[in-house]
Chain A
Amino acid sequence: AQSVTQLDSQVPVFEEAPVELRCNYSSSVSVYLFWYVQYPNQGLQLLLKYLSGSTLVKGINGFEAEFNKSQTSFHLRKPSVHISDTAEYFCAENSGGYQKVTFGTGTKLQVIP
């Protein structure tokens, strides 16, 4: 069964500092990868996704992620965070076609002023 691992449940970081949120996936076949963000009291919204092509994917709000097949990773990065980036971030994969999206347990990013 496919699985997504987000090792860090919480990541505190100072404002304007860089951040990396880690994600490892399990699928050994072709895989689609996603990062979603959930702001307080809101639903999840898509930050970025990797389907194929360039391994560096740029998303909204200055975030980017790099697909690394040899390390089965899809880490999310931002060079300089803002207070407004405080949220929970979920990594997800889909390797089963229709509807089989597997989510990680989420990482809470806390930006400290």
Chain B
Amino acid sequence: EADIYQTPRYLVIGTGKKITLECSQTMGHDKMYWYQQDPGMELHLIHYSYGVNSTEKGDLSSESTVSRIRTEHFPLTLESARPSHTSQYLCASSAGLPGGEKLFFGSGTQLSVL
């Protein structure tokens, strides 16, 4: 089973607040990812990391930022949340040969910005 954890599970906040979504994995995977998931839409990659001190933006533009100071930890931060940020955020990790590796997903954080 996957050992990747996301907190909080649900978050309701007001516009303009700064928030951090936590993601941790205990599998020692080098690669970690953040996806945004909306109903009826494909998952969109918003950030990824190949290892410590490595972060890149994904295919979908996002106002969020990420950091990777430790292998196991990949938090996502929104400096000033807006209603347009309301979505489900999924964290994932992987290891193995490029392209064919299995993604391990956390349970997600459902964010609602009022």
- Whether A90 and B98, one on each chain, are in contact in the complex, defined by CB atoms closer than 8 angstroms, is no
Instruction: Produce 1/0 per residue, A59-73, CB < 8 A to B.
Output: 000000000000000
Sort chain A's interface into a size bin. 20 to 34
Is the pair B102, A49 in contact by a Cβ cutoff of 8 Å? yes
A3 — nearest CB in chain B belongs to which residue? B42
A80 at the interface (CB under 8 A from B): no
Q: Are A105 and B106 in contact (CB under 8 A)?
A: no
User: What does the 1/0 interface line of A74-113 toward B look like (CB < 8 Å)?
Assistant: 0000000000000000100011111101111110000000
| A51 interfacial by beta-carbon distance below 8 Å | yes
- CA–CA, A47 and B77, complex, Å: 31
- Kindly provide the distance from the CB of B7 to the nearest chain A CB, expressed in whole angstroms: 13
Q: A residues engaging B (CB < 8 A)?
A: 4, 9, 32, 36, 41-46, 49, 51, 90, 94-99, 101-106
CB pairs A–B below 8 angstroms (10 shown): A43-B6, A43-B92, A43-B105, A44-B92, A45-B105, A97-B99, A99-B48, A101-B103, A102-B42, A106-B40
**New A-B contacts (15) at CB < 8 Å, excluding given A36-B103, A43-B6, A45-B104:** A41-B107, A44-B43, A44-B90, A44-B105, A45-B105, A46-B102, A46-B103, A49-B102, A90-B42, A94-B100, A95-B99, A99-B98, A102-B42, A104-B42, A105-B40
